[in-house]
Amino acid sequence: MRLSLCIATYNEENFLQFPLDSSYDFVDEVIIVDGSSTDNTVQKAKAYGDKVTVYKEDNPPMFHINKQKAIERASGDWILQLDADEAVTPELKREILDVVTGGGDKKTVAYWIPRKNYFLGKFLTKGGVYPDYTIRLYKKGVAHFPCKTVHENVAVKGAIGHLKNDLLHYADPKFDRYLKRWKRYSTLDARIMIKNKEKPDMLSYFIIKPIRWFLSAYGRHKGFLDGWQGFVFAFFSSIRFWRIYTEYQRLKKL
């Protein structure tokens, strides 16, 4: 078996078509680890055909755990790991097929892929979020998720190369979905700080870090060129430090 597509899901019935429509035709199997979805995610996945195998698990706050379970169950020589809201472009498809059929550098075992993030009606191209490189293609057995932070990539043993064409990330078509992710990620960051026995400084998290982040994203990285979406993204990315700090204090009292 040549190529396995691995996806971790939880209530993704409105987005799962992105990875499956764009990848189902050229992968040899689809491994989905579902965190006990309460919508039609599983039914939608199975409707694609016999290539799909779904494993039901719990839905841990650190969702990389289920991503790791998915890649461990893959049988392919290569693994294409996608989120449930990511789509492979035709150009990226051709690059991936070239790699897995032996056209890549023989010493390279994994690849960074440039990702475009869709935010409230457009793909962001500034603000430090493009190209949002992420490791999504690797040989079986060379990569694993450390499961230490919400923002991590897989850890890879071996040489990592770069692909040229974009992976499309339809994460935030509407603000309510973005806000849910924003809250979930900041809460998880706070939990990790507690686990690591960190002690955040209030001045840093309420003034220094937010100002630095906003000036960097909106100014130095030209987020203003992405229009009002660029401003909203830079602003909420910066004030996430407020929520991380307040969540840290709330969780410490539990």
What pLDDT, on a 0 to 100 scale, did the predictor assign at position 166?
A: 98
What pLDDT, on a 0 to 100 scale, did the predictor assign at position 30?
A: 98
pLDDT tens sequence across 64-119: 999 999 999 999 999 999 999 999 999 999 999 999 999 888 899 999 999 999 99
What pLDDT, on a 0 to 100 scale, did the predictor assign at position 45?
A: 98
Residue appearing with tokens 């755990």: 65
Identify the structural domains of the chain with CATH numbers, from first to last. 3-171 (3.90.550.10), 174-252 (no CATH)
- Phi-psi region for residue 176, left (φ > 0), alpha (ψ -120 to 50) or beta? alpha
Residue segments in the chain with a per-residue pLDDT below the cut of 70: none
